[in-house]
Structure 1
Amino acid sequence: MTLRHRPERRLRRLAAVLLACVSATQAAHAAPATTVRPARETLDAIVDDAIARYQPPGLAVAVIVDGEVVYTRTHGERVAGTGEAIDRDTLFKIASNSKAMTAALLARLVDQGKLAWTDPVVRHLPGFRMHDDWVTREMQVRDLLIHNSGLGAGAGDLMLWPGPNRFTRADVIRGLQHLEPVYSFRSRYAYDNTLYIVAGEVAAAAGGAPYDVLMRREVFAPLGMDRCQAGQWRRDEVGNLAQPHANGEAGAPVAVGLDAEVVPDVPMMAAGGLRCSLDDMLRWTRMWLRPEQSGLDAEGRPWLSRAQREEVWTAHMPMPLTTRMREWDDSHFSAYGYGWRLTDVDGTWKVSHTGTLSGMYSALTLLPQLDVGFVVLINGNADELRTVLTQALVKGFTRPGEAGLDVAHYAALLARERAARPAEDREAALAQPRTGVAPDEMASLTGRYRDPWFGDITICGDGARVEFRSAMSPRLHGTVMRSGSRLLVDWTDPGVDAEAWLDFARAGGQGTRLSMAKVDPEADFSYDYEDLDFERVDDCTTP
């Protein structure tokens, strides 16, 4: 047995122990005969406090109990300042909550005998390549869904966003071979998006139709998710769309990245590109909580077989159990299924996922043993809002009647976490004054640079400034600035919210190389500048 197989063997033993713990947790905490429901006034108070505290541009919230929608609430505007109100049919980008739908699509194909979870990926996509040939051969369909590839968190995400851009799914898949792993295959969890794009293409190959066609046919149509959108569509024909927002002056929301008339079929569709309304997400939620009542075919058979439902919600990959999870929820395990996060909270099972795009946040939380589900959709930058709102809603069911577990309580805990973090270096970097750089100051460094997976960029003079431009990702355009002793790029687009350091190096006769890194180390990992390795290939005067 080679050394490469040993981490997988250890991981399987650990997963078996973890699965036993999950089963024991479920058996020890059987669902009560009747779930205690907070009064509507209690739920309203939670949502009111969240709105008042964080003032999102738009918000849609719902609670479903025992198969019944017991609470819905919509607030705000699709685009700030327009007066166009959010309602239950408003489409939101659900971001990474798309992953569970992609996994379910694959599960449908498994039920239909068109693929198996243990199929090698190359059986369906012969051109698929990872950086390591052994990993290429061994990668199975199931591995695409559980973040165990060995790639670093968010590796290759700059091919997906900020969008829209010029990368295709073929570009993303072709670029994987250039992304060097930072861990051994199957040895640990590190969140990725790019392999979900591969999963979508596996579905297309096995299902005999493009991903968006399969998603509409196999998921949206049978479950009655009529407003959900996949692939390319026309904005004005669909209508009622929430748009993403960034924080403008004095924190006021400003719409960014507005949809054009034709909404494109973006490469990240299978990882985070689907859009759905609140009512669509409630139908999706009901199917998982009440499969015997939702999505039945003409013969009364459930939309997914019991075997595939269990496979999707099996703890396939251990995840870190954080201090917050232990202290807030008394959690004992954490794992990833196929497109779902699995844990326990206050003695009951929790199945959930979140979705995060610049200016759009979502959360879907299920407590299957209590037959309870929550949907939260927000069209603004709202990480903390999503966290405290979801947490307060969950506690209303897992610790009913216990005072003080409200929005204010969890907001205070987050503030305490921030205060405890050493932030001196981060704050110093962000606070450094910036000055423009004249082209003659960088004459020896300007030119065209190339990365094997991201493609070409130019760093060239434009009047009195030096501009950074990406050929494949047009929104990555900004001005080169000096901050202290270093250079950074200040992006022009307010929706691109993670500035990047520019570090140039000359390696003997090998020419000039450029590496990049996030100025704010706490910025979203999808700005994976650290995976880039540019080489200067031409000067600025060449057409």
Structure 2
Amino acid sequence: MRQTILGVVFVAALSVPSHADDALPFKEADLDASVAAAMQAFETPGVSVGVVKDGKLVFSKGYGIANVETGAPVTPDTIFGIASHTKAYTAAALAMLIDEGKLSWNDRVIDHIPEFRMSDAWVTREFTIKDLLTHRSGLDLGAGDLLIFPEVETSRQEIIMAMRHLKPVSSFRDKFDYDNLLYIIAGEVVGRVSGMPWEEFIEKRIFAPLQMDSCRALPEGLSADAPRAYPHMTVDGKLTVTKFDKGDPTTAAGSINCSLTDHAKWVAVQLNGGKMADGTPLFSEARHKEMWTPITPLGGDAFGRPPYNTHFKSYGLGWFLDDMNGQLHVYHSGGLIGMVTYTNLLPEESLGVIVFTNNMNGYTMRSLTNELLDAYLGVDNGDWVEQSKKDYAERLANADKVVAEAKAAASGAKSKAQKADAYTGTYRDAWYGDMVVTAEKGKLRMTSKRSAQLKGDMVHFNRDTFIVRWDDRTLDADAYATFQFGPDGKPTKVEMKPVSPLTDFSFDFQHLDLQRVQE
């Protein structure tokens, strides 16, 4: 079982709340207790919580620490990587260009990026700007994400050229499967149409007018002394600082870094129909409505799902959409290695709830968000932290069992592998590149030529299947690697899949088609 955090530190907000505690529908002391319980239960070193109401940040507070190695406190001005919240900013950038008459949601992507190709010629011709944003391309969940995670050097042009090699798992526009790469291409559309790179557009056209001074479109733009929250993972029972994700590969899909204080300004614009505090539109009301219009259904039961009597779930343009007790609910989460964040809007209440955390456990952000939403909706759905603890314990127990069984099978493997040299060689995927298998003193290692983090020993599991144990234990992404052989007895390919069911979909290796390169 994972080690829990002791000695949680609480740090009060530096600039807000601007309203008295009795003006809020929740008691600050009660929220403090819930945060403490969540941080303890879900191994979360630091949390930043904010509430936007009627255009103002009425509550904000930092809890815990930004870095377990330094003990630096979290405040509302601590900068977090907000990951997929970036998608709403990218959708807004396109909306602004549409307002200027430079673009249409229904423009074909190839009219702006002529070299863009999907695997099917008809899909390529029909693929629109709207399709880039709505997760209905036919590609699988997270397809191609190994081009951007973990710690890779991939250019935007490489991503554009890689799309043609990714195989669909469903029909075009048929179903929802979350993706990242198409948002990066949407950012490239912003760049080509506006005449400035996506990151420059975001900073000049959104951050500057909203005075979001802490925010950077790419983390590389942050100063060395910026008050950053560091990502954390639990490794061998110990909470450990891990590497920051590089922003440039993810760009328009997930590279923005921002403090809660400044992200709240963006939330206020969203709740105000696209208008800034002085009434000037950042984007038009028409575009605002389009971004909040359901486009891609998420499926599932549509008959009053508890606890909020939810009847639909869908994706719009950069936002998830559903209903909570009869009200429109607009939301998005963001996840990086070692950091998850959450923004929830109830437009009819003119309410936004923001929770940023610096570990990869989503239970903290969801528990605290639901508690605050319940307070404003005037409902009692019980203790969200306690409910989440049960679910978390079950998921951990299941994952630990699966991993333990894999380790036991590997250590007690009765079927022998072939000699190590039988597996060595370069294995190439058309969109990803090369994985190289080498042998040293009879032991195998796998090394990615794209990601510096993906290198590790291969432990025999069964017959021609091995478990790759990555040297960087913060990844929590050990993988099975199964070799296939041709009639001549030589390896032809290797297939990979994650050992743990908790491995993030962005680096689960299942979309790789690694064919051995003939030497």
Matches within 5 A, 1:347-426: 347-400=326-379, 402=380, 404-412=382-390, 415=393
> How many angstroms apart in 1 are the aligned matches of 2:411 and 2:302?
37
- Rate the CA distance shift 1:312–1:76 in 2: closer, same or farther, 3 A: same
Of 99, 104, 112, 2:100 maps to 112
- Rate the CA distance shift 1:444–1:429 in 2: closer, same or farther, 3 A: same
Deviation by residue 1:75-109 (Cα, 9 ceiling, x = unmatched): 22222131211222211111111111111111111
> How many angstroms apart in 1 are the aligned matches of 2:391 and 2:303?
9
Of 155, 161, 164, 1:174 maps to 161
Of 4, 29, 32, 1:44 maps to 32
1:94 correspondence with 2:74: no
Of 239, 249, 268, 1:286 maps to 268
> How many angstroms apart in 1 are the aligned matches of 2:376 and 2:257?
28
Amino acid at match of 2:288: R
1:515 correspondence with 2:495: yes
- How far is 1:414 from its partner? 5.4
Matches within 5 A, 1:250-289: 250=237, 252-258=238-244, 265-289=247-271
* Contact 2:142-2:506 at 8 Å conserved across structures: yes
Amino acid at match of 1:527: F
Deviation by residue 1:309-336 (Cα, 9 ceiling, x = unmatched): 0000000111124699812221100000
Matches within 5 A, 1:226-241: 226-231=213-218, 233=220, 235-237=222-224, 239-241=226-228
* Contact 1:468-1:489 at 8 Å conserved across structures: yes
Q: Secondary structure at the match of 1:495?
A: helix
1:223 correspondence with 2:205: no
Matches within 5 A, 1:287-326: 287-291=269-273, 294=276, 296=278, 300-321=279-300, 326=305
- Rate the CA distance shift 1:67–1:44 in 2: closer, same or farther, 3 A: farther
- How far is 1:45 from its partner? 3.1
Matches within 5 A, 1:485-504: 485=463, 486-504=465-483
- Rate the CA distance shift 1:231–1:64 in 2: closer, same or farther, 3 A: closer
Q: Could you say which residue in structure 1 is the equivalent of 2:447?
A: 469
Amino acid at match of 2:186: A
- How far is 1:406 from its partner? 3.6
Q: Secondary structure at the match of 1:153?
A: coil
* Contact 2:39-2:46 at 8 Å conserved across structures: no
> How many angstroms apart in 1 are the aligned matches of 2:71 and 2:426?
45
Q: Could you say which residue in structure 1 is the equivalent of 2:432?
A: 454
- Rate the CA distance shift 1:234–1:333 in 2: closer, same or farther, 3 A: closer
Q: Could you say which residue in structure 2 is the equivalent of 1:139?
A: 127
Q: Could you say which residue in structure 2 is the equivalent of 1:531?
A: 511
Moved more, 407-416 or 378-387: 407-416
Q: Give 5+ residue unaligned stretches, structure 1.
A: 1-34
> How many angstroms apart in 1 are the aligned matches of 2:304 and 2:371?
14
- How far is 1:254 from its partner? 0.4
- How far is 1:223 from its partner? 1.5
Amino acid at match of 2:320: R
Q: Could you say which residue in structure 1 is the equivalent of 2:42?
A: 54
* Contact 2:81-2:257 at 8 Å conserved across structures: yes
Deviation by residue 1:177-214 (Cα, 9 ceiling, x = unmatched): 00110100001111011100110001111111111111
> How many angstroms apart in 2 are the aligned matches of 1:500 and 1:134?
35
> How many angstroms apart in 1 are the aligned matches of 2:256 and 2:274?
26
> How many angstroms apart in 2 are the aligned matches of 1:61 and 1:267?
28
Of 130, 139, 145, 1:151 maps to 139
- How far is 1:303 from its partner? 1.1
> How many angstroms apart in 2 are the aligned matches of 1:450 and 1:54?
39
* Contact 2:49-2:76 at 8 Å conserved across structures: no
Structure having the larger proportion of residues in helix: 1
Q: Could you say which residue in structure 2 is the equivalent of 1:339?
A: 318
Amino acid at match of 1:460: T
Aligned-pair identity (%): 35
> How many angstroms apart in 2 are the aligned matches of 1:247 and 1:59?
17
Moved more, 453-462 or 125-134: 453-462
Moved more, 470-479 or 305-314: 470-479
- Tell me the TM-score normalized by structure 2: 0.88
Q: Could you say which residue in structure 2 is the equivalent of 1:201?
A: 188
- How far is 1:531 from its partner? 1.2
Amino acid at match of 1:337: G
> How many angstroms apart in 2 are the aligned matches of 1:325 and 1:497?
36
Q: Could you say which residue in structure 2 is the equivalent of 1:328?
A: 307
Aligned residue pairs, count: 494
Deviation by residue 1:406-448 (Cα, 9 ceiling, x = unmatched): 42234335556888x8997676336544489999822111011
* Contact 1:457-1:469 at 8 Å conserved across structures: yes
> How many angstroms apart in 2 are the aligned matches of 1:537 and 1:128?
27
1:188 correspondence with 2:175: yes
